[in-house]
């Protein structure tokens, strides 16, 4: 079933691998203006070389203020896909140290909150309805 996203604008985090890449490409092919965010410039370059209509944003989502500033510069979006994250396979649940748990929460939860706050605030200011999708993992 084809989707029509013509005229829509969506930010996809973690957009260079796996689900995020697939979502970014599918949205782009459906007429959406896609902003692809990743901390890996070379992977973003590869994605935008293959899909020139996708706009890349290099950002480390764990750097709260830097990410916020970059997202505040974007136009008002119709959607956000919070997909970025890291897995929690470096430790077992019984051996996972606090520092690593904080890293997981920063990457997988707090970054999604930061992005959602910026995008939703703009949507509310201009009174448009939008969509925020949060992708989760076993981590």
Summarize pLDDT for 105-118 with one digit per residue, the tens.
999 999 999 999 99
9-134 topology per CATH: Rossmann fold (3.40.50)
User: What's the pLDDT score for residue 91?
Assistant: 86
Determine the average pLDDT of the residues in 6-27.
Answer: 96
d(CA 50, CA 69): 27
Determine the average pLDDT of the residues in 115-124.
Answer: 98
Geometric angle at alpha carbon 13, from 11 and 19, rounded to 5°: 110
pLDDT digits (tens, 9 = 90+) for 28-46: 999 999 999 999 999 999 9
Using pLDDT thresholds of 50, 70 and 90, give the confidence band for residue 138: low
Percent of the chain exceeding pLDDT 70 equals 97
**Strand order of the sheet with strand 9-13?**
55-58, 33-38, 9-13, 79-82, 131-134
Indicate the SS3 state at residue 57: strand
Find out whether 119 and 132 touch, Cβ atoms under 8 Å. Answer: yes
Find out whether 36 and 15 touch, Cβ atoms under 8 Å. Answer: yes
């Amino acid at each position: 079933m084809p989707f029509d996203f013509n005229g829509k604008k969506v930010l996809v985090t973690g957009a260079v691998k796996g689900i995020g890449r697939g979502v970014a490409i599918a949205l782009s092919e459906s007429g959406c203006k896609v902003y692809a965010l990743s901390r890996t410039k070379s992977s973003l370059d590869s994605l935008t070389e293959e899909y020139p209509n996708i706009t890349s944003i290099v950002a480390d989502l764990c750097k709260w203020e830097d990410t916020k500033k970059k997202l505040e510069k974007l136009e008002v979006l119709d959607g956000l896909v919070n997909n970025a994250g890291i897995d929690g396979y470096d430790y077992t649940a019984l051996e996972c140290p606090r520092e690593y748990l904080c890293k997981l929460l920063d990457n997988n939860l707090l970054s999604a909150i930061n992005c959602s706050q910026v995008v939703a605030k703009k949507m509310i200011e201009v009174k448009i309805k939008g969509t925020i999708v949060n992708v989760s993992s076993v981590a």
